[in-house]
A and B are shown apart, each in its own frame.
Chain A
């Protein structure tokens, strides 16, 4: 790991001001992604601003929803009684990610900001437009087993690896960030971006801004949830494809539904068209299949990830079945 200077701060204000002192400076939260990337030489900040002691780890109910501080640990969120009560999908998604040790370290803000696990991004000897703009995308025509089937570009087919973000996208969360110019809100779906011609930019956070909280609006109708993660081993592996579903039934009809997917795009992938189709329809496999078919109309694969064209719709259908049956299949 290269040398860097280190400063520990205890307020958001100090964090923002310390970050501005070096154009390569970065915030350090749990470190589970950043320290890894620094060891690999992918990210080389000359200054780290340790924000782990900034008091932004509270999880509390507001009038309209649940507010989760950006420095709340993944474990703390997954096991919080208010999260379990109101947003079981978030808890399920978090618990499907990484390992207990990593979840004890990882924070909500860091999880959102984690970078792709694309092999070409991690290996500094290989071409990657995300790490080294203009060097090309090694995954296109290369090893693309983990890669995107939605919204990719000819510059980058990497996926965002987070499980937590799939749930937060489905649950219409809103992010609060603070910078030198003050506070602003970003809806979760607008936070991460598609690669286009600038895959080096993962999201819409501006340099110098600190994520302070995530708000999830209460919607207690959406109590039937399931997070289905398909991976190479039963646990402690990134998703090949995942689907998060939250729905409510009236009789056997779908009163309301939210669906998002992971492992399929450069951002957590919300299935709005499928949701609109399913609303009001009976919760049958036939309708789930049609919702999946509508979603897959936009899909495009490389040779290496062509299997996802089958795996993704099956995952959608299975997750919907499990949510509709409340896990009792």
Chain B
């Protein structure tokens, strides 16, 4: 059973407890630590439900305060995509190796796939969905469109989130510097040269990012 499915069950209104009651012992064993396995061996589904703890989390996402209960093992990426339906942030490798999941926490770019959601308590998260002001795109989004900074578009949200910080951090003065400081975002379509052009354009345009 995947973390995602667990969360979807909860999202669709089925309570965790009744959901767990329905699951077989085997399922519980597959996702459970020692304590739960012990409870399961005694056939005590109630106890299983009690040991799988969720925690309260208060975090601001794109300016909206969110209060949710989640398991500690849920990553920020899964919270965004599976629970809050903010699917703009992409899951590429899920291991910090591609940058598709790049979001900003308190203004800094990070990999959401290696961030446990519970660690973001009280923080301010910005995702690709939080960039545009109504119908007005962020200058970096405009520039990616103008320069064809993508082909399939899968890496694009991560590239754009990363590119904004690349400029904010002061690492976008030359194409070489951009290449180095955008190296945490892999593009399997190879749109790199247009991405560099887009970033140079925004940087030279001088608009606030």
Q: Footprint of B on A, CB under 8 Å?
A: 1-6, 8, 28, 30-32, 35-36, 38-40, 44, 46, 48, 50, 52, 75, 98-102, 104-105, 234-236
Asked if B31 is at the interface of the complex by the 8 Å CB criterion, the answer is: yes
CB distance from A238 to the nearest CB of B (A): 11
Closest Cβ neighbor of A102 among chain B residues: B96
Contact between chains at A31 and B33 (CB < 8 Å): no
CB distance from A266 to the nearest CB of B (A): 23
Closest Cβ neighbor of B109 among chain A residues: A101
Asked if B111 is at the interface of the complex by the 8 Å CB criterion, the answer is: yes
Closest Cβ neighbor of A7 among chain B residues: B72
Name which of B58-66, B113-121, B129-137, B193-201 contacts chain A.
B113-121
Contacts of A38 in B (CB 8 A): 73
CB distance from B45 to the nearest CB of A (A): 15
Contact of B184 among A40, A48, A99, A234 (CB under 8 A): A99
Contact between chains at B181 and A35 (CB < 8 Å): no
CB distance from A163 to the nearest CB of B (A): 14
CB distance from A33 to the nearest CB of B (A): 9
Using C-beta atoms within 8 Å of the partner chain, give the interface range for chain B: 35 or more
Contact between chains at B116 and A46 (CB < 8 Å): no
Closest Cβ neighbor of A45 among chain B residues: B33
Q: CA separation between A52 and B116, bound complex, in Å?
A: 12
Contact between chains at B111 and A32 (CB < 8 Å): yes
Contact between chains at B95 and A36 (CB < 8 Å): yes
Contact of A235 among B102, B110, B180 (CB under 8 A): B180
Given A28-B119, A36-B114, check contact A100 B181 (CB 8 Å).
yes
Given A35-B114, A35-B116, A101-B109, check contact A6 B72 (CB 8 Å).
yes
Contacts of A50 in B (CB 8 A): 118-119
CB distance from A205 to the nearest CB of B (A): 22
Task: Name, among B96, B166, B169, the residue most crowded by chain A CB atoms within 10 Å (CB to CB).
Answer: B96
Closest Cβ neighbor of B180 among chain A residues: A235
- Would you mind naming 16 contact pairs between A and B with Cβ atoms under 8 Å apart? A2-B32, A2-B33, A3-B32, A3-B33, A6-B55, A32-B96, A32-B114, A35-B114, A36-B96, A46-B33, A75-B108, A101-B99, A101-B102, A101-B184, A102-B114, A236-B183
Contact between chains at B75 and A35 (CB < 8 Å): yes
Contact of B111 among A3, A39, A102, A234 (CB under 8 A): A102
Contact of B110 among A4, A8, A40, A105 (CB under 8 A): A105
Contacts of A31 in B (CB 8 A): 114-116, 119
Contact between chains at A101 and B110 (CB < 8 Å): yes
Closest Cβ neighbor of A105 among chain B residues: B110
Q: CA separation between A35 and B115, bound complex, in Å?
A: 8
CB distance from B44 to the nearest CB of A (A): 16
CB distance from B119 to the nearest CB of A (A): 6
Contact between chains at A100 and B109 (CB < 8 Å): yes
Given A31-B115, A31-B116, A105-B110, check contact A234 B33 (CB 8 Å).
no
Fill in one digit per residue for B186-198: 1 if any A CB lies within 8 Å of its CB, else 0. 1000000000000
**B-side interface mostly:** mixed
Contact between chains at B94 and A100 (CB < 8 Å): no
Contacts of B181 in A (CB 8 A): 100
Contact between chains at A104 and B73 (CB < 8 Å): no
Contacts of A100 in B (CB 8 A): 109, 162, 165-166, 169, 171, 181, 183-184
Task: Name, among A48, A50, A102, the residue most crowded by chain B CB atoms within 10 Å (CB to CB).
Answer: A102
| Further pairs besides A3-B36, A52-B119, A101-B99: 11, Cβ < 8 Å | A2-B32, A5-B72, A31-B114, A32-B111, A36-B114, A100-B109, A100-B162, A100-B184, A101-B162, A236-B184, A236-B186
Contact between chains at A3 and B116 (CB < 8 Å): no
Pairs A-B, 3 closest by C-beta atoms: A99-B184, A235-B183, A6-B72
Contact between chains at A2 and B31 (CB < 8 Å): yes
Contact between chains at A3 and B183 (CB < 8 Å): no
Contacts of B73 in A (CB 8 A): 1-4, 38
Asked if B35 is at the interface of the complex by the 8 Å CB criterion, the answer is: yes
Q: CA separation between A104 and B167, bound complex, in Å?
A: 15
Asked if B3 is at the interface of the complex by the 8 Å CB criterion, the answer is: yes
Q: CA separation between A102 and B93, bound complex, in Å?
A: 14
CB distance from B34 to the nearest CB of A (A): 7
CB distance from A98 to the nearest CB of B (A): 8
Contacts of B119 in A (CB 8 A): 8, 28, 31, 50, 52
Q: CA separation between A5 and B52, bound complex, in Å?
A: 9
Asked if B41 is at the interface of the complex by the 8 Å CB criterion, the answer is: no
Q: CA separation between A104 and B107, bound complex, in Å?
A: 11
Q: CA separation between A131 and B32, bound complex, in Å?
A: 21
Q: CA separation between A28 and B115, bound complex, in Å?
A: 11
Contacts of A35 in B (CB 8 A): 75, 114-116
Closest Cβ neighbor of B32 among chain A residues: A3
Contacts of A4 in B (CB 8 A): 33, 72-73
Q: CA separation between A236 and B93, bound complex, in Å?
A: 14
CB distance from A16 to the nearest CB of B (A): 19
